[in-house]
Chains A and B, each alone.
Chain A
Amino acid sequence: MAEIADTALSDNRLADAKRLHEARATRTRRFLLSPAILTIGIVGLFPLTITMIYSVLSPGTYGGVTWELSGEAYIQFLFERDIFDDTLTFSGSYLQIYGRSIGLAFVTTIGALLIGFPTAYFIASKPREQRNLWLFLITLPFWTNLLIRTYAMLLIIRDEGIINLSLMGIGIVEQPVSILYTDTAVFMGLIYSYLPFMVLPLYASLEKLDFRLVEAAYDLYANRLQVLRRVIIPMAKPGIVAGCILVFIPGLGAYITPELLGGGKHLMIGNLIALQFGSSRNWPFGSAAALILMAVVMVALLVYIRNAGKEGARHG
């Protein structure tokens, strides 16, 4: 009897200790998470809330807002209000600016993918002990500030820059080739800035690639294109998607690169938003433009997640 009671008692004690331990673990977890949650709350959600509120108010006379509800900021995005008779007509100015930014981000993403994929594949196919060196080389540009790197780019491609001076020195061209202050220059700058964001996730998924599967495909008489399309790309897909998202989203909001390398003749989304808080004195419209950009990105991500989910279910 005494023996049984003893065991029960120790069982109880054990359970108690376990509960205590779990409670403590939860507390610790919450405690350790709180800086992150607080940071997200304060620097993420709080400003976002302000932006949302500002976007439905009226602009103040000299910047700022007045507390009058108004949907004008959103109407202004698509329509132009006639000064005399207050009628609305469709206006594509802002859509065109968004279109250009989205187009440029898209082309940059494709370009980065085309350059980044062979690079990542090359690194992944190296012996394990060499890979770290190659990865280190990929991340090396991050050690220098983006602004400095963009300025360096400017020095290289300008009319009297290294490329043009050497081309003229060798005698290939008579006049300098104008690259700077064109869309090509912006495209080059964006690819240069964001390429590592493409290479790293691609490498992460290609590294796990089982090369025996590639060999098996060859054994089954697949040609090289078929191996790439049917075996390697499907297995690298998570990396491709992650890389594309990581390049596309910052490319969409890029501010410094188009400003420095593009010559400032065309507005990009980032510059349009900045303008509204400066000399345009229209904070509500600036807030609305920022939120519309965010909505575009979120819809694109949601569509992707839904599709990815379906595909997962089909494979499962």
Chain B
Amino acid sequence: MKRMLTGLTAVAAVGLAWAGPAAAEGKLNIYNWGNYTNPELIEKFSKEYDVEVTLDGYDSNETMLAKVKEGGTGYDIVVPGDYMIQIMIGEGLLAEIKPNEMENFKHMDPKWVDVWWDPGRSYSVPWQWGTTSFTVDTEVYTGDIDTLALLFEPPPELQGRINMLNDMNDVINAGLRYLGYPRCNGDKDQLKEVTELLLNAKQYWRTMDYSTIEKLTSKDVDLSQNWNGAAMRARAQRPTLKYAYPKEGFTGWMDNVAVLSDAPNMENAKLFVNFIMAPENAALISNFARYANGIKGSEAFMDPEMLDAPEINMPADAPTPDFVKPCPQETVDLYNKIWTRLKQ
């Protein structure tokens, strides 16, 4: 889930103090994925509500959870992924701020209201959502790209030219889909088959890394597992790249804005949650990081090249993105063993 990392950007603390003529009325501390927040959005919010905003970055859901669990972080806003929202509600870390009673809630696309991680939206609102699939150079490989076979049993021209994400869940889930087995799988026989599939496919992979854009644009690889926004950014520099919608299925994910239960600036946090549901503000978020946002009417304010991008607009016949739920600890333990064996 380190999709926002373009390289090894460490946690970067960026203080965006709004230099107003008078002292700001209040404060707001945001803890979001690195390189994911549009500075224009923050500036606009500061001006409108006279609030001094600070922004910190993290590189994985688990890093954020570990820090928040310790308590007393001083953060008001966090932006966890779907499964992490469910975990944090269960652990009592999020405040029930009732976005569904806020003024701008009417702008939210109805399909994102009754989601499994926050049914009815009592805790969180969409930040951005996307898919995890892969990108292929259609000049190098001219056949049908919409199949996971390209990752696990690649044709000769792609062998040794593949980058997989360095992510246990993304790699194992792709393997499970290719073999037609369910996700969060505790069945040892099926997992054994997946392990053999992965171990055999590894000889065709050149790298396992998060920096997908750089790997593709430098021509180190011709195929990379990828997130749709990153795929769009890579295509801008290497126009022959194409984002695949494999028939076996692919992962969908959504990052959501939520407020911590021990937030020091609760009222400002609620203002911010309402603020980003306004279409013109949601569009600012998307224009920066290149993912869709889940707010109706935001298209009118988005960059034109995003509106017809094949990475953002799925073809009608593509499978529905699969939003994978958190797996039980026994399954995570099994996945760990597979992952260690794969990389030993």
A-to-B contact residues, CB < 8 Å: 59, 61-64, 80, 83, 93-94, 96-97, 147, 151, 158-160, 180-181, 256, 259-260, 263-267, 272, 275, 277-282
Contacts and interface: CB of A to CB of B under 8 A. Distances in A.
A159 B219 contact: yes
Nearest to B160: A178
A132 B339 CA distance: 50
A280 B205 CA distance: 23
Interface of B: 7-8, 60, 62-63, 65-66, 69, 87, 91, 166-169, 188, 202, 205-209, 218-220, 329-330, 332, 334, 336-337, 339-341, 343-344
Contact of A277 (B62, B207, B220): B62
Contacts of B220: 158-159, 180-181
Nearest to B343: A267
Nearest to A267: B343
Nearest to A150: B8
B332 A63 contact: no
B337 A80 contact: yes
Nearest to B219: A160
Given A80-B337, A97-B344, A279-B167, A264 B209 contact: yes
Contacts of B337: 80, 93
A64 B66 contact: yes
A263 B188 CA distance: 29
A310 B174 CA distance: 58
B332 A280 contact: yes
Contact of A160 (B8, B63, B218): B218
Contacts, number: 78
Given A147-B8, A180-B220, A94 B209 contact: no
Contacts of B208: 263-265
Contact of B65 (A62, A181, A272): A62
Contact of B205 (A160, A256, A265, A267): A265
Contacts of A159: 219-220
30 contacts: A63-B66, A80-B337, A83-B334, A93-B337, A93-B344, A97-B340, A97-B344, A151-B7, A159-B219, A159-B220, A160-B219, A181-B206, A181-B220, A256-B8, A259-B8, A259-B209, A260-B8, A263-B208, A264-B207, A264-B208, A265-B343, A267-B344, A272-B340, A277-B62, A277-B66, A278-B63, A279-B169, A280-B168, A280-B336, A281-B332
A148 B231 CA distance: 25
Q: Is the interface of B mostly helix, strand, loop or mixed?
A: helix
A83 B344 contact: no
Nearest to A263: B207
A61 B329 contact: yes
4 smallest beta-carbon distances between A and B, as pairs: A263-B207, A264-B208, A267-B343, A278-B62
B38 to A, nearest CB: 26
Given A151-B7, A277-B66, A281-B329, 10 more contacts: A63-B69, A83-B330, A158-B220, A159-B220, A160-B218, A265-B343, A266-B344, A267-B343, A278-B60, A280-B339
Contacts of A259: 8, 209
Nearest to A279: B168
A265 B207 contact: yes
A181 B207 contact: yes
Nearest to B62: A278
A92 B7 CA distance: 32
Nearest to B209: A264
A262 B219 CA distance: 17
A61 B340 CA distance: 20
A63 B65 contact: yes
Contacts of B344: 93-94, 96-97, 266-267
Contacts of A267: 340, 343-344
Contacts of B341: 93
A265 B205 CA distance: 8
